[in-house]
């Protein structure tokens, strides 16, 4: 018999679509987990709980992809280490791609694009785009 409850990834995306960024925290080993999964990758415990992170982190890696202006111009992709100890891929808003550097402190926020929520980052100490 199958469960009618949505899986962890569907619940995670639903929270993002509602403007909430959640990661998981395992009640057995107390470690944080991202991207959400059914089993803690650290200790094997079932169903780590979804929790709201503090949202601050540090850019750990960044690459700039160069495109012609008529193709949308340059953009960047970065890896951000949240203070909770998880890493995710995203982008930093409000800075030119070349200005996003390793070590930059950032804060997460959910941005809706086409009705779907996704996590982006803003540099700490700068205004958040409207």
Domains of the chain by range and CATH? Answer: 8-123 (2.40.50)
CB 57 within 8 A of CB 104: no
- 129 secondary structure, DSSP code: P
| Region 54-74 average pLDDT | 93
pLDDT tens, residue by residue, 44-62: 999 899 999 999 999 999 9
Cis peptide before 127 (omega within 30 of 0): no
- 46 secondary structure, DSSP code: B
Strands 75-82 and 87-90: antiparallel
Query: What does the pLDDT read at residue 1?
Result: 45
Position 74 confidence tier, pLDDT thresholds 50, 70, 90: confident
Query: What does the pLDDT read at residue 73?
Result: 87
pTM (2 d.p.): 0.85
CB 36 within 8 A of CB 12: yes
């Amino acid at each position: 018999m199958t469960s009618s409850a949505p899986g962890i990834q569907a619940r995670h995306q639903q929270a993002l679509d509602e403007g909430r960024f959640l990661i998981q925290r395992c009640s057995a080993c107390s470690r944080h987990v991202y991207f959400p999964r059914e089993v803690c990758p650290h200790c094997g415990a079932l169903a780590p709980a979804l929790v709201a992170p503090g949202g601050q982190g540090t850019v750990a890696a960044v690459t700039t992809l160069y495109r012609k202006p008529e193709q949308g111009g340059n953009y960047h992709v970065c890896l951000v280490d949240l203070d909770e100890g998880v890493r995710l891929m995203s982008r930093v808003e409000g800075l030119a791609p070349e200005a996003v550097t390793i070590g930059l402190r950032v804060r997460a926020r959910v941005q809706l694009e086409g009705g779907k929520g996704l996590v982006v980052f803003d540099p700490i100490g700068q205004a958040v785009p409207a």
